[in-house]
Amino acid sequence: MAMAIRQPGWYRGAIGFVLGAAFGFGLVIALRAISGLDLFQTEQTGYPHVIVPLITAPFGFLFGFGAFDYWFRWAAGKPTIPDDHSGHGAFRWQDYFKFNTDHKVIGIQYVVTTMFFFLIGGLLALLIRAELAQPGEQIVAANTYNGLFSTHAVVMIFLFIIPIFAGLANYVLPLMIGAPDMAFPRLNALSFWLLPIAGIIFLASFLAPGGSFDAGWTGYAPLSTGAPLGQSFFNIGVQFAGASSIATALNFLVTIITMRAPGMNPWRMPLLVWANLSTSLLVVGATPFVAGAQFMVFFDRALGMNFFQFLEGGDVISYQHIFWFYSHPAVYIMMLPGFGIISEIISTHARKPVFGYRLMALALIGIVVLSYSVWAHHMFVAGMFSWLRVPMMITTMLIAVPTGIKIFSWLGTLFYGKIHLYSTAMLFSLAFLVTFVVGGISGVMLGMVPLDIHVSDTYFIVAHLHFVLFGGSVFTIFAGIYHWFPKMTGRMYDERLGRIHFWGTLVGTWFTFLPMHWIGMDGMPRRVADYASVYGDWNLLISVSAFILGAVQLVFLYNMIVSWRFGPKAGDNPWRAHSIEWQVSSPPPVFNFDEIPRVVGGPYEYGTPGARHAIMGGEIVPEEVPEPEPTTVTSPS
Amino acid sequence: MTRLPILKLTLASLAFGAVQSVVLLQFDWFGGAAASAAGPIDLLLDVTIVVSSFIFAICCVALGYALIKWRVKPGDESDGLPIHGNTRLEVIWTVIPVIIVVALAGYSWAVLDDIESKDADRITVNVYSQQFAWTFGYPESGNKWSEGELHVPVDRQIDFKLHAQDVIHSFWVPEWRIKKDNVPGITTDALVTPDKVGTYQLICTELCGAGHATMRAKVVVEPQADYDKWVAGLEQEVPGGLLLTADQALEIEQQLQEKEGGIEGSGVDET
C-alpha cells in the first residue's frame, strides 16, 4: 500500500487531487481572512472558494498521477527513471487507465474517451429534442434548457470532434510517416489527461448553484459575465481543453516536420498528414484566442475587471471579435482532419490515386490562410463597424473555392476507379460528399450579407452547422474509425451492422437537420425552449428523427465493443492500402518498426504495376524499384 | 480508357438542376414579405437557390454515374487507372467557382447597398430592450413611449435606433427581413421601410437569458394618419435612464457602489 502511494498512479493521483483542492480552498480562505473579508463570498459570479480549487485540484491530480515526474526529476537534477519506453504498449485493459506514453495507447485512450463524451453530448441533444417536440414547456424550465444546449455544444466541440481527430491522428499519423512515436511522448500523454479533466469540469457545472453554464457555447458577454457560477466552470474547463489541443498540435507539427521516414518529401506525404499539418497550424495560431477570451470573461466575473463591462467603459463587441477569431478557424480545425481521412479512404477503396494530389494539399493550406480572415461573418448583425462586412463576405465565399476543389477532386478520384462499396468506411465517405455539399452551399448563403441578416440566429444556422459538423465531421469520424478499426484492434468489425448503422445515421441526419432550414428561414429563432405553434409538426418530425439517429448509434457501440473482443482476425492489410501503417502488423508492434522504412514513391500509386510507397525495414530490396512516372492525362476523355 | 459521355452527363446535370430549381422556387422560403427590403433579398435568395441547385446536381450526377459505372464486380481485385490529375480540369474547377462566388458577392453587395440606402424623409424610432421586454420611444412625436407594442407608419423609411439596458438582444421582424443586435453601451441602427399594413411580431434573436424565447412584441404597421393619431394618444414620455450615456452609466454605477459599499458589498473601504 505504501508502495502504491509512492508510485505514480491512481492512488497518488487521488491524494494529489485532495491536496490540490485543499490547497486552493485554504489559500482563498486564508487570504480572505487576512484581508478581513467574509470567508465565503457567494455572489453568483464569485465563489472564489470553489473556482480556485477547480484550478488547483486538477493540477494536484496530474502531479500525483505522474504527468510531471520525469520533467521534475530532470529539472531537479535527480536521476530520471531510465527512459526505456517502459510505459509503452498496453497488454491488459487496465493499461489504458495509466499515464502511458505510447502514441498507439494514447490514440485509443483519446478515441474511447471522446466517444464516451459523444454519448453524453448525444443524450443532452435528445433532452433538447424532447423539450422541443411540442411547443410550450415539456420537461425542463427555460434556464435549464439554456444549460442543456450550451453543454451539448461545448461537450461535442471541445470533448468530441476536436479531440477525436487528434486521437485518430495520434494513432495513425506516426505510423503513416514511418516514425517510432510522436516527437514528445510525455507531452502527448499529458495532452490526453487534460481532456477528461476538462470534460468533468464542464459536466460538474450542472452541480453548481444556478445550474450549468447557460449563455450558449459562444458565451457572449455581458450575458456570460453576469451569469451564475456554472459559467466559471466553462471558463476554466476551456483552458484545460485548449491547453490539451495546443500541446497536441505542437506535437504534431514537430513530428510531421522532423520525424518523417527517409525519402518522404512533402509531396509524398499522405493527405491525412497534410490535413493534420494544416489543422495544427490553425490550432497553434487560433486556440490561444479562445483561451484569452474566456480568461477575460473569467477576470470580469471573479476579479471585477472591466473588459466587457459596458457601464465601466468595457467594449461588449470586442468579446465577439476575439472569440470568433478562434472559433471560425475552429470550424476548420473540426473539418480538415476529416478531409484527410476521406482522401485516404476514397483513394484506397476506389483503387486509384487521389485526383490532383498537389492541388488537394495546396487547397488545405489555402483554407488555413483564408480561415483567419473571415471571423466577422458571424457578426454581420452584431452592430460592429459596417465596413468590415463586405470584405469578410468576399473572403468567406472564397473559401468555397478550395473546398470545392476538394469535393471535385474526390469525385474525380472515383472516375475510372474500381469502386468497392463493401466497407462501411467507404459508405460514410461517399455520404459525406453529398451531405457536406449541402452544408457548404448553405455556408455560402450565410456568407452573403443580405441573406445572413435574415437567417442569422435562426434555425437555419442550426441546420447549417449540423450539416457541416454532423454530416461533415461526424461522418468522417465514423469513416475513420471503421477504416482503421482493424489496424487498431487487429480484428474486423461486422459490416452488416456497419451498414445498418450507416443507413440509419444517413437517413436520421437528413430528416433531423434538413427541415431545420425551412423553419429557420420562415422565422423560428434558435436557442429557444418554446416556439410558435405553427412549427409544431416540423419539430415533432425533427425530434422523432433525432431519437432514431440516437438509437442507431447503439448499433455502432455494440459493433465496436463486440468486434473488439470477438471479431475475426483482420490481417495486416485488409483494404490492400499502400500507406505505411498498413505494412506493419495489426495491431502494430510496440515500437512500430524494427527498422525505419524507406519511402520511395507517392502514397496512392494504385494501378501502377510494381509501384511502392515504402520499403519496410528487413525487406530484401528488389534490384530495381520502378519509380512510377507521374501520369497526367491531358483530357478526361 | 473509355470516353466519358460528357454530353449526357451535362444534360443529366442540367435536367436535375432545373427540376430541383423549379421545385425549390415554388416555396416562399422567407415567409410573408412586408418591407421594401424583402423584394431584392428574396430575389437574391432565388438566384442563389438556382445556382446552388445546379452545383448540387453536378455533384450528385457525377457521384451517381461513377458508382454505377465503376463499381467493381465481386472478386475483381484489380486497380483503377493510374490517373494522377488533369491540369486543365483542375484549373477549370478552380476558376469557375471563383467567378461564381465573386459574382454572387458582387450581387450581394449591390443588394446590401440598396437595402441600406437612406431616405431623406425617414423618421427615427428608438427601440429599448431589456431582459425580457421591448419598449419604444418616438423622439419625433414628443418623445412618447410605448411598452410591448410598436407602431410605425406604412411606406415611410424608419431609422430604428437600437439600445440595450443589460445584455445583448436582437431586433428582428421576419416579414421585414432586417435584423440587428441591440448592444449595451452603444447605439446600433436598422433601416426599414414597411410597405404593407398589418400586425407582425418582433422577435428577440440573441440569447439573452431564461426569458429569451418569450421576449416578443407586437408590431403594427398602419397608414400615416392612424399612426399620428396613435402616437398622439400616448401619455407617457420615455423615462429617464432608459438611454444611458457613458457618464450617466458611471454615475449610476457609483451610486450603486456607494449604496452597497464596494464591489463585493462587504464594507471594505476602497481607498
Domains of chain A, by residue range, sit at 2-75, 104-566
Q: Do B88 and A634 touch (CB under 8 A)?
A: yes
What are the tens digits of pLDDT across the range A204-249? 999 998 889 999 999 998 999 989 999 999 999 999 999 999 999 9
Contact B107, B176 (CB under 8 A): no
* Residue A33 Cα distances to A27, A28, A63, angstroms: 10, 8, 28
**Smallest CA–CA distance from A390 into chain B, residue:** B109
Mean pLDDT of A63-90: 80
What are the tens digits of pLDDT across the range A528-557? 999 999 999 999 999 999 999 999 999 999
Mean pLDDT of A172-187: 94
Q: Residue A400: how many CB atoms within 10 A of its CB?
A: 21
Query: In sequence order, what are the beta bridge partners of B170?
Result: B181
Closest partner residue to A636 (CB to CB) among B71, B86, B97 is B86
**Smallest CA–CA distance from B48 into chain A, residue:** A445
**Smallest CA–CA distance from A634 into chain B, residue:** B86
Mean pLDDT of A125-151: 92
Give, for A566, the enclosing helix (H) or strand (E).
helix A536-566
* Size of the A and B interface in Cβ pairs below 8 Å: 297
pLDDT at res. A85: 60
Q: Do A457 and B188 touch (CB under 8 A)?
A: no
User: Which of A38-42, A346-350, B26-30, B262-266 tops mean pLDDT?
Assistant: A346-350
Q: For residues B207 and B205, give the distance between their C-alpha atoms in angstroms, rounded to a whole number.
A: 6
**Domain B123-239 CATH superfamily:** Cupredoxins -  blue copper proteins (2.60.40.420)
Spell out the SS3 assignment of A390-425: HHHHHHHHHCHHHHHHHHHHHHHHHCCCCECCCCHH
Closest partner residue to B59 (CB to CB) among A411, A421, A633 is A411
Chain B neighbors of A450, CB-CB under 8 A = 37, 40-41, 44, 108, 111-112, 115, 177
pLDDT at A612 exceeding the cut of 70: yes
The residue with cell 518523417 is A260
Q: Do B70 and A417 touch (CB under 8 A)?
A: yes
Closest partner residue to A454 (CB to CB) among B4, B177, B213 is B177
Mean pLDDT of A347-365: 95
Smallest CA–CA distance, residue B26 to chain A, in Å, is 13
Contact A160, A114 (CB under 8 A): yes
Cell of A297: 470573461
* Chain A contact present for B55, CB below 8 A: yes
Q: For residues A338 and A476, give the distance between their C-alpha atoms in angstroms, rounded to a whole number.
A: 5
What are the tens digits of pLDDT across the range B85-139? 999 999 999 999 999 999 999 999 999 999 999 999 999 999 999 988 999 999 8
pLDDT at A46 exceeding the cut of 90: no
Chain B neighbors of A383, CB-CB under 8 A = 162, 180-183, 186, 188
Closest partner residue to B81 (CB to CB) among A43, A311, A416 is A416
Query: In sequence order, what are the beta bridge partners of B133?
Result: B130
Strands B149-153 vs A614-615: parallel, antiparallel or unpaired: unpaired
pLDDT at A637 exceeding the cut of 60: no
Burial code (b: 16+ CB inside 10 Å, e: under 16) for A489-506 equals: bbbbbbbebbbbbbebbb
What are the tens digits of pLDDT across the range A255-285? 999 999 999 999 999 999 999 999 999 999 9
Give, for B133, the enclosing helix (H) or strand (E).
strand B133-138
Q: Do B183 and A316 touch (CB under 8 A)?
A: yes
pLDDT at A624 exceeding the cut of 70: no
Q: Average the pLDDT over each of A68-72, A415-419, A580-584, B251-255 and give the range with the smallest value.
A: B251-255
**Smallest CA–CA distance from B93 into chain A, residue:** A405
Q: For residues B221 and B149, give the distance between their C-alpha atoms in angstroms, rounded to a whole number.
A: 11
Strands B149-153 vs B158-164: parallel, antiparallel or unpaired: unpaired
pLDDT at res. A93: 83
pLDDT at res. A98: 87
Contact B209, B141 (CB under 8 A): no
Using omega within 30 degrees of 0 as the cis cutoff, is the peptide bond preceding A228 cis?
A: no
Instruction: Of A265, A205, A336, A239, give the one whose Cα is nearest residue A614.
Output: A265
Contact A484, A433 (CB under 8 A): no
Q: For residues A47 and A303, give the distance between their C-alpha atoms in angstroms, rounded to a whole number.
A: 11
Cell of A102: 505510447
* CA torsion, ordered A112, A118, A123, A129, to nearest 10 deg: -160
Question: Residue A209 carries which side chain, given as an amino acid letter?
Answer: P
pLDDT at B6 exceeding the cut of 80: yes
ipTM (interface predicted TM): 0.90
Query: In sequence order, what are the beta bridge partners of A230?
Result: A212
**What percent of chain B stands above pLDDT 70?**
88
* Chain A contact present for B168, CB below 8 A: yes
Closest partner residue to A417 (CB to CB) among B77, B80, B112 is B80
Q: Which of B8, B65, B108 to substitute to test the interface with A, most A CBs within 10 Å?
A: B108
The residue with cell 432514431 is A548
Q: For residues A50 and A41, give the distance between their C-alpha atoms in angstroms, rounded to a whole number.
A: 10
Cell of B51: 445556382
Q: Residue A139: how many CB atoms within 10 A of its CB?
A: 12
Q: What is the DSSP letter of B5?
A: -
The residue with cell 428608438 is B126
Q: Which of A403, A406, A633, A634 to substitute to test the interface with B, most B CBs within 10 Å?
A: A633
* Chain A contact present for B192, CB below 8 A: no
Q: Average the pLDDT over each of A346-355, A611-620, B95-104 and give the range with the smallest value.
A: A611-620
Smallest CA–CA distance, residue A574 to chain B, in Å, is 12
Helix (H, G, I), strand (E, B) or coil at A515: helix
**What percent of chain B stands above pLDDT 90?**
72
Mean pLDDT of B252-258: 56
Given the candidates 3.40.30.10, 1.10.1740.10, 1.20.210.10, 3.50.50.60, the CATH classification of the domain at A104-566 is 1.20.210.10
* CA torsion, ordered A383, A384, A388, A389, to nearest 10 deg: -20
Domains of chain B, by residue range, sit at 7-69+92-115, 123-239
Chain A neighbors of B87, CB-CB under 8 A = 632
pLDDT at res. A142: 87
Q: For residues A348 and A418, give the distance between their C-alpha atoms in angstroms, rounded to a whole number.
A: 10
User: Which of A430-439, A627-636, B235-244 tops mean pLDDT?
Assistant: A430-439
pLDDT at res. B267: 37
pLDDT at A61 exceeding the cut of 70: yes
**What percent of chain A stands above pLDDT 90?**
79
Q: What is the DSSP letter of B184?
A: B
Using omega within 30 degrees of 0 as the cis cutoff, is the peptide bond preceding A222 cis?
A: yes
Helix (H, G, I), strand (E, B) or coil at A527: coil
Q: For residues A213 and A152, give the distance between their C-alpha atoms in angstroms, rounded to a whole number.
A: 11
Contact B96, A408 (CB under 8 A): no
pLDDT at res. A210: 87
* Chain A contact present for B52, CB below 8 A: yes
Average per-residue pLDDT in chain B? 88
Contact B168, A223 (CB under 8 A): yes
Helix (H, G, I), strand (E, B) or coil at A140: coil
pLDDT at A126 exceeding the cut of 80: yes
Is residue A65 exposed (0-12), middle (13-18) or buried (19+ Cβ within 10 Å)?
Answer: buried
pLDDT at res. B262: 42
* Chain A contact present for B7, CB below 8 A: no
Smallest CA–CA distance, residue A525 to chain B, in Å, is 6
pLDDT at res. B268: 39
pLDDT at res. B264: 43
DSSP string, A276-341: HHHHHHHHHHHHHHHHHHHHHHHHHHHH---SS-GGGT--HHHHHHHHHHHHHHHHHHTTHHHHHH
Q: For residues A64 and A78, give the distance between their C-alpha atoms in angstroms, rounded to a whole number.
A: 18
Q: For residues A339 and A337, give the distance between their C-alpha atoms in angstroms, rounded to a whole number.
A: 5
Q: Residue B224: how many CB atoms within 10 A of its CB?
A: 12
Smallest CA–CA distance, residue B128 to chain A, in Å, is 15
pLDDT at res. B254: 60
Angle among Cα A71, A589, A577 to the nearest 5 degrees reads 120
Give, for B159, the enclosing helix (H) or strand (E).
strand B158-164
**Smallest CA–CA distance from B63 into chain A, residue:** A411
Q: Sign of the CA dihedral A226, A229, A233, A234?
A: negative
Q: Do B105 and A523 touch (CB under 8 A)?
A: no
Smallest CA–CA distance, residue A564 to chain B, in Å, is 27
Q: For residues A63 and A58, give the distance between their C-alpha atoms in angstroms, rounded to a whole number.
A: 9
pLDDT at res. A313: 81
Contact B181, B250 (CB under 8 A): no
Instruction: Name the band, by pLDDT with cuts 50, 70 and 90, for residue A402.
Output: very high
pLDDT at res. A635: 46
* Phi then psi dihedrals of residue A615, to 5 deg: -105, 120
Helix (H, G, I), strand (E, B) or coil at A40: coil
pLDDT at res. A137: 83
Q: Give the residue, B143 or A287, on which the prediction is more confident.
A: A287
pLDDT at res. A292: 94
pLDDT at res. B204: 95
Query: In sequence order, what are the beta bridge partners of B237?
Result: B144
Mean pLDDT of B55-67: 95
Query: In sequence order, what are the beta bridge partners of B179?
Result: B172
DSSP string, B61-101: HHHHHHHHHHBPPTT-----------HHHHHHHHHHHHHHH
Q: Average the pLDDT over each of A4-8, A48-52, A484-488, B257-261 and give the range with the smallest value.
A: B257-261
Q: For residues A170 and A181, give the distance between their C-alpha atoms in angstroms, rounded to a whole number.
A: 9
Closest partner residue to B94 (CB to CB) among A38, A405, A416 is A405
Chain A neighbors of B192, CB-CB under 8 A = none
pLDDT at res. B269: 40
pLDDT at A324 exceeding the cut of 50: yes
Closest partner residue to B41 (CB to CB) among A311, A421, A454 is A454
Smallest CA–CA distance, residue B33 to chain A, in Å, is 11
Q: Do A449 and B108 touch (CB under 8 A)?
A: yes
Residues 6+ apart with CB under 8 A from A265: none
Mean pLDDT of A131-139: 89
Chain B neighbors of A637, CB-CB under 8 A = 3-4, 6
Chain A neighbors of B48, CB-CB under 8 A = 444-445, 448, 451
Average per-residue pLDDT in chain A? 92
Smallest CA–CA distance, residue B229 to chain A, in Å, is 31
Q: Do A421 and B264 touch (CB under 8 A)?
A: no
What are the tens digits of pLDDT across the range A432-485? 999 999 999 999 999 999 999 999 999 999 999 999 999 999 999 999 999 999
Q: Sign of the CA dihedral A608, A611, A612, A618?
A: positive
Chain B neighbors of A46, CB-CB under 8 A = 264
Q: Sign of the CA dihedral A54, A58, A63, A67?
A: negative
Chain B neighbors of A458, CB-CB under 8 A = 205
Q: For residues A51 and B98, give the distance between their C-alpha atoms in angstroms, rounded to a whole number.
A: 50
pLDDT at B164 exceeding the cut of 80: yes
* Chain A contact present for B249, CB below 8 A: yes
What are the tens digits of pLDDT across the range A491-541? 999 999 999 999 999 999 999 999 999 999 999 999 999 999 999 999 999
pLDDT at res. B107: 97
Instruction: Of A476, A466, A462, A463, give the one whose Cα is nearest residue A431.
Output: A476
Q: Do A414 and B67 touch (CB under 8 A)?
A: yes
